[in-house]
Structure 1
Amino acid sequence: MVLVGKKAPEFSAQAVVNGREFVEDFSLNQYKGNKYVILFFYPKDFTFVCPTELHAFQDKLAEFESRGVAIVGVSTDTEQSHFGWLQVDKGHGGIKGVTYPLVADTNKTISANYDVLAGETYYDEDDMLQSEGELIAYRGLFLIDKEGVVRHQIVNDLPLGRNVDEAIRMVDALQFFEENGEVCPANWSKGKEGMKANHEATAEYLASH
């Protein structure tokens, strides 16, 4: 499912914020009209690639916040699992020091609605519910604007960690477009020039060929 250009699916779920506080009804509505959101999904707590990503987002959190961006992580683990992992030092494979919200998608509906849920369920010949593969989240990332619209998405398979600097670049590109009305060419980065989309010239060219 491609969500770009569509409203980001809404949800209300348990979460852990500030590394220690439980929130019962966490949702993205609190950011609407005020902040951009990077919503990212990861497969499991207490794993190997996942903590490198979570710490990478934390290391760049000030850069995101300076751009008016909230970071929110999601996995299909429970809020208790999130909390426990947050108490473990980085040197022992934990994510202590992560302060942005971690959402508990324990019923898998958030991952399913964002179409990042790995594995499938089916009923066998005895009408028993079965699953093929683990029902965990792929490494999905969604850039959501202040109006709640998805403007960028990327989904990595489970073994492939993301580039957090690329997420920052996409925020910069979106904000540059919103502020200047110019589009961003390949390999654009903050500080470079954009391009003006000349629709009239394009229409004239097409009409003459």
Structure 2
Amino acid sequence: MWLNKQQIIPSALRAYRKALVRSTPHHVVIDGLFDPTKLDEVADVLQQEQQWKTQKHSYSALYVNNETWQETPDTERFVQRDLWQRPLQTPEDSKSTTALAFLQFLRGDEFMSLLSKIFDVRITDINVAEPEINTNFFRLSARDFVNQHADDSPGREVCMLLYLNKDWQQGDGGELIFMGEADKPIAIAPVYNRCVLFDPSSEGSEHWVKALASEADAVYRYNLTSWYWSE
């Protein structure tokens, strides 16, 4: 239902594995991995202003409150962005239900089995205390930022980014930048239905996000981020 079947045929999986091991950092970019009709419903939900809350991280602490944030030097701030808030009750509209179902799918057996095949390691939530908090939607405005950082942690095998920006054009900003190797950073544009999978422990996987070009209040860069562990 969620996956574009043409993107997960055996020949495609072989190509993903080859791209993964030959790149620095180990990563693969897959365009059109998900069914566009279903993804359109998800993208529409993200336009609802009331479901977003600002999230702030420093290099020394995650989920920093406003008081501590004001005392944190700019050089120690690495994330300021909005986090999508899951409805506390069962949503009445079908699109919000679809967005929640998509988050659940990304932590389900079918999708994690796909990741296991691509990365050649068993991906599982068996030892993850709160799996649901590791998969969610985010947005960035021109005032926000994701500065250079690493996503590696013990047992974390895969990081996934999925872009949900229907109208993105070159020059808008918001590119994912990997450090890469030999001072040759890799830039990946946040085009709609583009999925980036990478090994956060691989060389050159430190990354950041290029600032958005537009300062208009209603202009955002939308993405889904998901982290996965092995046993």
Shorter-chain TM-score bucket reads: under 0.3
Tell which has more relative contact order, 1 or 2 (C-alpha 8 A, sep 6+): 2
TM-score (norm 1): 0.26
- Whichever of the two has the greater Rg, that structure is 1
TM-score (norm 2): 0.24
Q: Please state which structure has a larger fraction of its residues in strand.
A: 2
